[in-house]
Amino acid sequence: MSKRKSYTAEFKLSVVKYAEENGNRSAGREYSVDERSVREWREQKNVLNAMDRRKRARRGGLPHWPELESELRKWVISTREQKRKVSTVDIRLKARQLATEKGIDNFTGGRKWCHSFMKRNSLSVRAVTSVGQPLPTGWEEKVAAFRDYVSKLKENVDLSQFGNMDEVPVSFDMPDTRTVDVTGKEDIILTTTGSEKCNFTVVLCCTADGAKCEPMVIFKRKIMPKVNFPKGIVVTVSPKGWMNEEIMSQWLEKVWRKRKGSFFRPKSLLIYDSHRSHLTPGIKEMVQKHSQLAVIPGGLTKILQPLDLSSNQSFKNKIRKKWENWMVNGVKSFTKTNRMTHATCEEVCKWVLESWNGVTPECVKNGFKRAKLHDYCDNDISQSNEDNTDNDSDETDCDDEELDLISDQYSDILEAFRIESDEEFDGFE
């Protein structure tokens, strides 16, 4: 018995075109297909034209309840537009509800039907790439105004002095959420040390020329570990394991002030988010002694933070690979009850340093480009698969004339970005 073949919509349309000019039998001989299939494809020409040309055409048959599936697909798309979760169970429950409303008695809405429905409608289970609050009201105006404000501040500022700082939470265990296993198996388990919720903070900083400042690691401890940390990384401790005013002061002195090319105090610009530890009077005074400052409005880091848009994801992917390699080949230690302990602070700092050094200059530049805080020539950036695993931005670029119009239209909003007194940014916290 010969193996059943399947064809793409593009192939079928080619056969149909040839058959219309030379006849069904000639088309069958030319493309080595059955004449009966040629006749069927000619009847389905309109349907084939409406399909994706690259997909196998009309596999799995037509839906038994097309009206129900049409409404169900609209419901799924509408729910996702509201950024709400939709599971296969939700789809099956909604389908049964629609079937009851339409008086369909023989509808069961099982797993197999749900799989077929999703396949017919180009739906699939996707991993969530971003979780957070919705964008604030009037965010378009704030984004445009911030970009215009930064474009004015960075005049006569060298790219090596145009920086962005961000804190990245990291855990001692970093298991992936997906793995390959036997189909139908119920328990999909990954071995860890049980420290998935034991976190520390990595403070990263980069500049628009693609350079990277030394990373800082903040461990959740009261006493500094007495070990030899690798050179090229700043280590400190905090009872809560994240940034505060004291550590922010240390970062400014040990990292930002010691960046490449800062010895002669050139004109510079630093961008970071509106975390409270960044906006205290003492910290703002320290920054203003050496740099201009622009604070990203609350809720807009996913659009305006260069590190969030490119480098952070690349850094996390690399440090996860370091952890996975350590779990397989690294030297472990165990407690008296034979429980595996997590990697040492010294080992983790090596991972952080190697992962941060592994982020390419092109990846760093991509962050500033995607945040639209600096325009590069096409030859300045070569995008790679490795460094572009985060979400693509759908925003459209603004040219200089549009930015000038935005500046005039939103001049009141621009004042909110000036760091001159204790009252600024009250509206964005």
CATH top class, domain 1-59: mainly alpha
Enter the pTM of the model. Answer: 0.66
Written as six digits, the tokens of 347 are 């080992």
User: What is the sign of the dihedral through the CA atoms of 72, 75, 77 and 83?
Assistant: negative
Q: Where are the domains of the chain?
A: 1-59, 66-120, 139-168+205-212+243-417
pLDDT in tens, 260-298: 988 888 999 999 999 999 999 999 999 988 899 999 998
Bridging pattern class, strands 292-296 and 199-207:
unpaired
Residue 89 forms beta bridges with which residues?
none
Judging by beta carbons within 10 Å of its beta carbon (0-12, 13-18, 19+), is residue 243 exposed, middle or buried?
A: buried
Residue type, 406: I
In the predicted model, is pLDDT for residue 209 greater than 90?
yes
| Beta-carbon-side half-sphere exposure of residue 383 (alpha carbons within 13 Å) | 13
Domains 1-59 and 139-168+205-212+243-417 share a fold: no
Q: Does position 405 have pLDDT exceeding 50, yes or no?
A: no
> What is the rounded average pLDDT of the residues 180-201?
85
Q: Tell me the CATH number for domain 66-120.
A: 1.10.10
Architecture of domain 139-168+205-212+243-417: 2-Layer Sandwich (3.30)
CA dihedral 27, 30, 35, 41 (to 10 degrees): -50
Q: What is the mean pLDDT of the chain?
A: 84
- Predicted confidence (pLDDT) at residue 413 exceeds the cutoff of 90: no
How far CA 184 is from CA of 36, 89, 109, 114, 119, in Å, comes to: 39, 17, 20, 17, 19
Q: Give tens-digit pLDDT for 114-140.
A: 999 998 888 998 877 777 677 788 899
What is the side-by-side strand order in the sheet with 269-273?
234-238, 216-220, 199-207, 162-171, 269-273, 292-296
Condensed to tens digits (0 to 9), the pLDDT of residues 333-381 reads 999 889 999 999 999 999 999 999 999 999 999 999 999 998 875 555 5
